[in-house]
Amino acid sequence: DYPSVVVVGLGKKNAGVNDQENWDEGKENIRAAVAAGCRQIQDLEIPCVEVDPCGDAQAAAEGAVLGLHEYNELKQKKKPVVTPQLHGSAGSEAWQKGVTYAEGQNLARYLMEAPANYITPIKFAEYIEQKLGNFSSNVKVHVRPESWIATQQMGAFLSVAKGSAEPPIFLEVHYLGGANTSDSPLVFVGKGVTFDSGGISLKPSLGMDAMRADMGGAATVCSAIVTAAALNLPLNIIGLAPLCENMPSGKANKPGDVVRAKNGKTIQVDNTDAEGRLLLADALCYAHSFNARAIVNAATLTGAMDVALGSAATGVFTNSSWLWNHLYEASVVTGDRVWRMPLFEHYTKQVTDCPLADLSNVGKYSRAGGACTAAAFLKEFVTAPHWAHLDIAGVMANKDEVPYLRKGMAGRPTRTLVELAARLSRDSHNPK
């Protein structure tokens, strides 16, 4: 029946959750195997591939759709497009769910990989607005201009944006899938620096091109909401993305400048390359106006996070064990892991001991515990009892660590955010 057949091995039979690895090994094996098989078909330039469900149609679909994705929009010579579909009819619903999850992650990968002159703050907002256009009945998108940001007194965010010729945008997305539009929403906040030069504290030129993906937080949370809408999840979600560039012009923040955040706290900007936390400070303050069930922010925040965990897992700093448990359980299923990091008072003291202002945007012991002091800084703008900060700097890009992703921007942990939302939509118990 078929001109070519690819046979893949799925590892041990009945491989399930591996407690040492913190993931479902069976699902990971299927994703990796199916991705490898689909790429073989692509190399043969066959336009369609039928995929055996391998005992878990959702994982098989994720492997196929994630494994075939590649950003080649701007190349004249493109790889042949291969369309994966389910072989047989068993598990078609699970297959479709897997396709939707994977397409969500691929949307984040697309946004992160695209050059910064193609994805500017306004173009990012317009792209998400267009993606959500299909679900217009229960989705509202507000593309807030600089004048609105100023009326909200988001001085920390504006201080980063002023160094660039590109005007800042505050993107606000409402997905109302809950039984009542008044039900407390899950609020996602994403760092949206569409290019990060470091500002006056200029980054080294080697590798600076990758900073087109410094809006990975905004890309993953917005893609998660697009996916939640596609899945028609029964809960309300609000997405907030402060979008701007961090550039070194004559108008840029200078080291030692003091800026004022939305909640009135003053911040000494000791390093202009620690800019993500300035955007998030104002966005987190604003997130508190929605009576959130939980607030989850994602950001490519610190190189220190990459040093700590590499690309194995997203670092999670949270004040809520309830929220942590949901995130952790979601990540075991998706294979896109999370790892809990400390939010000790020990780190708070290092950002509040500041000569000129209430807070410094870097810890006083320089690089020591950099991911932890960044999280401690954000905590100063949070009063909600259920908040989690996801530092995704380490999982921003893939070399070859995740076998079912090609080299390039990873779009992680979009599927874990979607799975979290799906679990919260089923968990009617509000946390204590």
Active site residues: 203, 277
Q: What are the CB-based long-range contacts (under 8 Å, 24+) for 41-44?
A: 41/4, 41/6, 41/82, 42/68, 42/79, 42/80, 42/82, 44/4
- At which residue do the structure tokens 């939980």 appear? 294
Closest CA to 271 of 362, 143, 141: 362
Q: What is the DSSP string of 190-230?
A: E-EEEEE--TTSPPPSTTGGGGGGTTHHHHHHHHHHHHHHH
| Cα separation, 406 vs 190, whole angstroms | 24
| Integer angstrom CA distances of residue 88 from 55, 57, 137, 230 | 12, 11, 34, 24
**Residue 263: other Cβ atoms inside 10 A:** 18
Phi, psi of 158 (to 5 degrees): -60, -30
Residues belonging to the chain? 432
